[in-house]
Amino acid sequence: MSTTKSKTNLHIVAYPFPSAGHIIPLLDLTHLLLTRGLNVTVLVTPSNVHLLEPYLSTHPSSLKHLVLPALVPDIKPSPPHKRFLAIVRALRDLHYPFLLQWFQSHPSPPVAIISDFLLGWTHHLACELKVPRLCFSPSGAFGMSVAFSTCRDPPKNNDPGEDINFLISFPNVPNSPTYPWWQIENFPDLEADPDWEFHRNSMLANLESWGIVFNSFASLESVYFDHLKREVGHNRVWAVGPVLPLEGDLIGSATRGGASSLPCHKLMTWLDARPDNSVVYVCFGSRAVLTSKQLKVLATALECSGVHFILCARVPDDQGLILNGFKDRVGDRGLVIKGWAPQVAILKHRAVGSFLTHCGWNSVLEGLISGVVMLTWPMSTEQFTNALLLVDQLDMAIRAGEGTENIPDSNELARLLVVSLDKSKPQNVRAKELSDAALSAAKGGSSDKDLDELIKQLADIKKLE
């Protein structure tokens, strides 16, 4: 992307949702804005300040940060989706008055707020402050289209406890996607719950915001960007991705997001000793914890397939013995990483030929840029939508599994692991085409131009003050 430094005197606030998978892409976007001469203050919670370090050292004068009050962990235990909703609402209650006071007392307050889509309430803060609010989506336009439709018209199932495969369709979304009930993010039991209502209103507030910025690129999801522009009633919907650094040191790619149990140089040495396109990288993200059944199927498939592999997965403490014996049996053919993995560095290595992924959007883009074939095994929420996009609409991935409901047979998964490394497969051709398209968009193409247009429109607002 362009790195032309021309001082704009624009000062904006960037407010990521306090989770690594949301913070890092917004920091990457912040990096791009800083290289174009903006001044940015990042809002960050105490436990996530360390994620800012490589960016602060790269932009010591134009990047500032404000440490927000920490959320006291007194949310009562509950099912995961209820707990998540309660946390999001508690963040609003804690941070809204703090930020209002900070803005109003600042000698040179920011002229705009860009905040994560899970922080839709910041639209109301921006309205009170009389500044534009940009919604940032670290997810794709397809996933957001489904999420917005779900919130506007929550799907119904008269017997969700029994009929989990009841089909839900979205005829108003392009390509009319259809999902079994268990794959849809919905909270039908919470319609009268204030936390659910707050979440729904926050999501809909994103549609009312001044603009929406996506970590995606136009040619990947063009039909969904056109759809969202119709939904919001204007053209201030920008596709500026992939925002992750594409060259150089990748803003500390070896330690991006955390520390690995296996040092990056040891990983690279192991990969250097492998032939081109011979390694399957397996990772289910930083949040998904594999069940005992999932882990046993995966370990058996990796063992029986005979492929070289790197496995990075969170497992329950009581399942450690499965991997201990597993590591002894596969020997030097595979590596097991506990904790965070230097995923970008791994995927860009010439020895890695395919990627078994949970289909989180960050992983999708990192795999796409690397040009590797993806095996999809989504675990929750918009990951199912991302898998549908990769397999059925882009023809660049192979479906392997779906959550805990569709766990593949270990023999079939072993076969797919081998197939994924076959460079003659059509998915390999499509993966390379889309990799080229992503790089072209980010290097002087549509994403570069969208980011320049976004900054121009913000500067025009500043001139009118």
Residues sharing a CB contact under 8 Å with residue 75, sequence separation 6 or more, in sequence order: 83, 86, 87, 90
65 is catalytic: no
- φ/ψ region of 37 (left if φ > 0, alpha if ψ in -120 to 50, else beta) reads left
Q: For residues 24 and 258, give the distance between their C-alpha atoms in angstroms, rounded to a whole number.
A: 11
Cis peptide before 242 (omega within 30 of 0): yes
Residues sharing a CB contact under 8 Å with residue 424, sequence separation 6 or more, in sequence order: none
How far is residue 431 from each of residues 293, 324, 423, 444, measured CA to CA in Å? 30, 34, 11, 21
Which of 330, 329, 288, 290 has the alpha carbon at shortest distance from 307? 330
Per-residue DSSP letter, 314: B
At what angle are helices 80-105 and 194-208 packed, to 10 degrees? 50
Strands 112-116 and 133-137, sheet pairing:
parallel
Name the catalytic one among 11, 22, 123, 358.
22
At what angle are helices 426-442 and 446-464 packed, to 10 degrees? 30
3-state DSSP call for residue 39?
strand
Name the catalytic one among 11, 31, 116, 448.
116
Burial, 456: exposed, middle or buried (Cβ in 10 Å; 0-12, 13-18, 19+)? exposed
- φ/ψ region of 403 (left if φ > 0, alpha if ψ in -120 to 50, else beta) reads left
**Number of residues that make up the chain:** 465
- What ranges make up the beta strands (E) of 68-185? 112-116, 133-137, 167-169, 178-180
- Phi, psi values for residue 61, rounded to 5°: -100, -30
22 is catalytic: yes
Strands 279-283 and 308-312, sheet pairing:
parallel
* Alpha helices (H) along 407-445: 410-419, 426-442
CB atoms within 10 A of CB 287: 13
Q: Which residue has the tokens 């917005």?
A: 148
Catalytic residues: 22, 116
